[in-house]
Amino acid sequence: MDSVIHYKNIILLFLWFIMFPLVSQAGAKTDTVYLQNGDRITGEIKRFEYGILVFKTDAMGTLKIEFNDIKTFYSNEQYTIQMANGLRFFGSIDTSATDGYVNLKVGNFRIPEPVSEIVEIYPVKHAFWKRLDGSIDLGYSYTKASTISQMNFSGNVDYRVEKSFSSLNVSAIFTDQEDRDRIRKQDYTFAYSRFYKKKWFGSGIVGAQQNTELGIAHRYFLGMGAGRDFIHSNRTVLSGLIGLLVTTEKSLSDSIIQSMEGIVRLNTRIFRFNDPEIDITSHFNVFPSFTTWGRYRLEFELKVKIEIFNDFFFGLTFYDNFDSRPIDKDAATNDYGVTTSLGYSW
């Protein structure tokens, strides 16, 4: 198969992602937040991350409340809760008489914790669709002088349960120029992570890629590894992973190779809740080949999201892919670029 996904299907994929926020809307809003200024707000806790409580109300829409403005809050729903020290809890949340604290209700226990030490709260709903969140973005550019047009699409859907996290990530860039073949760069990945004690996790990954600039008609891969959160605070995440990958690659000249590779991954995320809200994520992957000695691949991506208004953002992405020994001898060893997009998250 020379193309991982047909160009004409990109719109269908975009519409498929749009459907997720429509079917994952939550039900009754019975959660309560007590603010330091004495106000009380009733609604629904959507999530808590990077020191921000995302709280949906009927009267005021979706609010984003900084942790230092919260006196305490309450919800009888079930959540996965992660603390700055790496501890994870599964339970509901009750108010505390101490300012800036909540009581985590885990089984028959009530555990007092400061709001400032909570780094993540995600609801674990009974309905499948309500456990999903994610984002989509789409961009297009055209330059008459060079006759170059480019369409880019990316999106992710995340699924959380008590002790695990699954994520589907897709991205595609199609570049057309007069008198040249279309350049296609596509990446479709499903990853599953299981959480353990002391910030450790195990991961499995499966996916498909295409990069015609590097001579790859398609690459299919399956792998697993172990990782750890080195930093996970209200402003910064830094995690790493090491593992093994089995790949099958087909070049544009129809040669096929199967190989075993290592994988070393470093992910970072930095969040700033100001006006505008800025979210910066990056990942850096190294793939040394155990089958073709001396060959190694590098993948780097840096993505900046700047919120335009509630849940809509402008995206700027820089990517750089390198292959020291492309399987197509006529292909380039390096492919890099910058894309812009408009997107929505839920």
| 130 confidence band (pLDDT: 50, 70, 90) | low
**What pLDDT does 21 receive?**
53
For the ranges 131-140, 146-155, 266-275, 319-328, the maximum mean pLDDT occurs at 319-328
**What pLDDT does 142 receive?**
86
Last residue of a domain, one of 67, 99, 124: 124
Buried-state track 295-331, b at ≥16 Cβ within 10 A, e below 16 = bbbebbbbbbbebeeebebbbebebebbbeebbbeeb
Tell me if 75 is assigned to some domain: yes
Mean pLDDT in the chain?
Answer: 87
Q: Residue 35 pairs with which residues in a beta bridge? A: 70
**What pLDDT does 129 receive?**
62
231 and 189, same domain (yes or no)? yes
- Structural domain of residue 229, as residue ranges? 130-345
Q: What is the CA radius of gyration of the chain?
A: 22
Q: What is the CATH number of the domain that holds 229?
A: 2.40.160.40
**What pLDDT does 11 receive?**
54
What's the pTM?
Answer: 0.81
285-298 residue pLDDT tens: 999 999 998 999 99
For the ranges 24-33, 250-259, 314-323, the maximum mean pLDDT occurs at 314-323
Nearest to 244 by CA among 227, 264, 229, 230: 264
> With 60 as the cut, is the pLDDT of residue 262 above it?
yes
Contact 54, 64 (CB under 8 A): yes
48 and 158, same domain (yes or no)? no
Establish whether the linkage from the previous residue to 276 is cis, with ω within 30° of 0. Answer: yes
Last residue of a domain, one of 124, 157, 183: 124
Tell me if 162 is assigned to some domain: yes
> With 70 as the cut, is the pLDDT of residue 18 above it?
no
Nearest to 342 by CA among 302, 300, 307: 307
**What pLDDT does 99 receive?**
94
As a whole-number percent, the residues of the chain with pLDDT over 90 amount to 57
- The structural domain count of the chain equals 2
